[in-house]
Amino acid sequence: MNQSDWRERNRPARLERRLSFADYDHTRDFLEDMAGVSERLGYYPDISFGRTHVSITIHAEDGAECVDPARRALAGEVDALFARSQGASS
Amino acid sequence: MNQSDWRERNRPARLERRLSFADYDHTRDFLEDMAGVSERLGYYPDISFGRTHVSITIHAEDGAECVDPARRALAGEVDALFARSQGASS
């Protein structure tokens, strides 16, 4: 997980990252890949998107003071997906 | 557009609706259909989603006091997609 790319917030504890894409096709491809990761991990972060941006919020488990390692691993997977996506659009 | 299902808000002028789905597959199918509508109309509403909910925000054009008929037509298409989706999951 690229610490610098994610904002760590409290009340409730969560990680947030906003990603920008070249066009809607790249946004859709990323969301499609994210769906696969969510299903594999059985965890579904809150996702907001428009034509060329996606914002992801990974919440800590209910009542937890901070985001646990398993969900931080999802943040790492998001970083990897996004890096691949950027490689594809450059 | 089902007036009762959408919340009309101001500052900025927009329409909002939250939709619930039986499971993630239905959420994904709906989002896929929405992507097709967005591309056909060339308008990309702000969409937030989790495993079984989707929230859609249709903004008025920049500076407009209210959402114009063309974007209200998108709200109508969202209603139709959602109704079909509910039919598919019952």
Task: Say whether residue B18 is in contact with chain A using an 8 A CB cutoff.
Answer: no
Residue A90's pLDDT band (cuts 50, 70, 90):
low
pLDDT in tens, B38-79: 999 999 999 999 999 999 999 999 888 899 998 999 999 999
- pLDDT for the residue B26: 96
pLDDT interval class at A33 (50, 70, 90): very high
A2 pLDDT band, cuts 50/70/90, is confident
Q: How large is the average pLDDT for residues B81-90? A: 82
- Band (pLDDT 50/70/90 cuts) for residue A89 is low
B41 touches chain A (CB under 8 A): no
ipTM (interface pTM): 0.87
pLDDT average, residue stretch A16-21: 97
Residue-wise DSSP of A61-84: STT-SS--HHHHHHHHHHHHHHHH
- Residue A87 pLDDT: 83
Please provide the CATH number assigned to the domain covering A3-89.
3.30.1360.20
Burial of B27 (0-12, 13-18, 19+ CB in 10 A): buried
List, edge to edge, every strand of the sheet that includes A14-20: A7-9, A14-20, A53-59, A46-49, B46-49, B53-59, B14-20, B7-9
pLDDT at A81 > cutoff 80: yes
Smallest CA–CA separation between B2 and chain A, in Å?
23
- Residue pair A70/A3 in contact (Cβ under 8 Å)? The answer is no
CA distance, residue A83 to nearest chain B CA (Å): 22
Are the C-beta atoms of B32 and B81 separated by less than 8 Å? no
pLDDT at position A62 is 87
Range from A14-18, A71-75, B13-17, B84-88 carrying the lowest mean pLDDT: B84-88
